[in-house]
Amino acid sequence: MNFPKNLQGRGGSGSIFGALVAITGVGFGVSGSVRTGAITLSLGAMIFVIFQYFQAQVRRRIELILPLGFALVLFVVALTLPHAK
């Protein structure tokens, strides 16, 4: 699988962006908007995992599939949460 050259490398800007999105999701969750926080956190985790995987020297598929699976399950659970206030 080829990843765009401008997103590869050791700069880590994509990983930093993913971490910032995940931290923002935690902030949403702490402030009371649990659904928005969980969705934002899962998207940030997905971004972070994808960039970390493509920056790694040794790539094992389980290092991509398992974290993405957890983030995807969190996303689905967030979508199925009841509307609570």
3 in a domain, yes or no?
Answer: no
The parent domain of residue 31 ranges over 12-80
Q: What is the mean pLDDT of each run of 10 residues along the chain (85 residues)?
A: 51 79 90 89 91 85 90 91 67
Q: Encoding tokens for residue 19?
A: 């971490």
48 in a domain, yes or no?
Answer: yes
Give pLDDT, residue 84: 55
Number of domains in the chain: 1
4 in a domain, yes or no?
Answer: no
Give pLDDT, residue 11: 47
20 in a domain, yes or no?
Answer: yes
Q: Encoding tokens for residue 56?
A: 């790694």
pTM for this entry = 0.75
Compute the distance between CA of residue 74 and CA of residue 80 in angstroms, rounded to an integer: 10
Q: Which residue has tokens 């949460």?
A: 81
Compute the distance between CA of residue 55 and CA of residue 61 in angstroms, rounded to an integer: 13
